[in-house]
């Protein structure tokens, strides 16, 4: 059986395979990863399709000792945050730390950070290695990835799409917002990450399909009652509101 997992607490979404274990959503498991063993959490019931991504072998359900180790690693990661921030300040680097986590065996520590551009952290890396004496990984992520890690509620009141089901970030453009008839006020069409909302992308094709044959707002058209200007378009009902030259407003329905 194939399952979708979250690697550690903040790692990528991956796929694991188990031949014998009875697993359910929310279970912590031990799996093969990066030529070693690490932990992950089951995010889905058994999948009924074969993903294109590599499959990681799930070894077992995390036992009490594994869970104690995971919790101990989380406490160590919190302490590591303080040291990391001190070192960043010493080197006068413009970096924002998002999260920190250890691998299961605590032989690797990963620091997730955001920055406006490329950061030369070679000396920082050396200093961190002297302190922790384990493998150090500095992983720069984007603001969308940060939102995905931190979670939260979108303007719709539901959990963020990137947290719940989106696997990849598709390009989102202001053109999509325009064609969907949305206000171009940044606060209205931006997500928690400050970028255009991801939902604009996967709604866009539906809007294009439903908009076929409809005039655009501001367009002048001929109607059975004379010429007029389109002042409103309802894509879903396929109706437009037209203001005639006389000032009268009429509604037209398109098949």
CATH number for the domain running over 67-141: 3.30.300
State yes or no: pLDDT of 35 exceeds 90. no
Work out whether strand 36-42 and strand 28-33 pair parallel, antiparallel, or are unpaired: antiparallel
pLDDT tens column, 138-185: 999 999 889 888 888 888 889 998 888 887 788 899 989 888 878 888
Please give the C-alpha separations between residue 50 and each of 17, 47, 108, 166, in angstroms, as whole numbers: 10, 8, 31, 18
Write down the domain spans for the chain.
2-62, 67-141, 147-211, 220-253
Please give the C-alpha separations between residue 254 and each of 117, 133, 148, 212, 248, in angstroms, as whole numbers: 49, 69, 41, 10, 20
pLDDT tens column, 78-132: 999 999 999 999 999 999 999 999 999 999 999 999 998 889 999 999 999 999 9
Please give the C-alpha separations between residue 69 and each of 62, 79, 235, in angstroms, as whole numbers: 10, 16, 55
Give me the mean pLDDT over the 40-60 stretch.
92
Q: Please enumerate in sequence order all residues whose Cβ is within 8 A of that of 71, keeping only pairs 6 or more positions apart, or say none.
A: none
Please give the C-alpha separations between residue 28 and each of 59, 65, 101, 123, 251, in angstroms, as whole numbers: 11, 12, 16, 36, 57
State yes or no: pLDDT of 234 exceeds 80. yes
CA 174 to chain centre: 19
Surface-to-core class of residue 183, CB atoms within 10 Å of its CB (0-12 exposed, 13-18 middle, 19+ buried): exposed
């Amino acid at each position: 059986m194939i399952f979708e997992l979250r690697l550690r607490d903040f790692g990528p979404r991956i796929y694991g395979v188990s031949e014998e274990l009875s697993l359910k959503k929310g279970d912590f498991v031990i799996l093969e990863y990066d030529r070693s063993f690490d932990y992950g959490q089951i995010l889905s019931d058994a999948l009924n399709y074969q993903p294109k991504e590599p499959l990681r072998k799930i070894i077992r359900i995390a036992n009490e000792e594994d869970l104690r180790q995971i919790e101990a690693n989380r406490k160590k990661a919190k302490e590591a945050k303080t040291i990391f921030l001190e070192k960043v300040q010493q080197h006068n680097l413009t970096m924002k730390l998002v999260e920190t986590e250890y691998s299961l065996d605590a032989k690797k520590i990963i620091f997730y950070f955001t920055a406006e551009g490329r950061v030369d952290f070679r000396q920082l890396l050396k200093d961190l290695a002297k302190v922790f004496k384990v493998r150090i990984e500095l992983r720069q992520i984007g603001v969308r990835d940060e939102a995905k890690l931190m979670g939260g509620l979108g303007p719709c009141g539901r959990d963020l799409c990137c947290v719940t089901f989106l696997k990849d970030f598709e390009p989102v453009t202001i053109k999509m917002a325009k064609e969907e008839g949305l206000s171009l006020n940044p606060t209205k069409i931006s997500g928690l990450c400050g970028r255009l909302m991801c939902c604009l992308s996967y709604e866009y094709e539906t809007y294009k399909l439903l908009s076929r044959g409809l005039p655009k707002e501001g367009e002048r058209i001929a109607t059975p009652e004379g010429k007029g200007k389109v002042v409103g378009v309802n894509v879903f009902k396929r109706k437009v509101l037209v203001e005639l030259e006389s000032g009268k407003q009429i509604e037209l329905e398109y098949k």
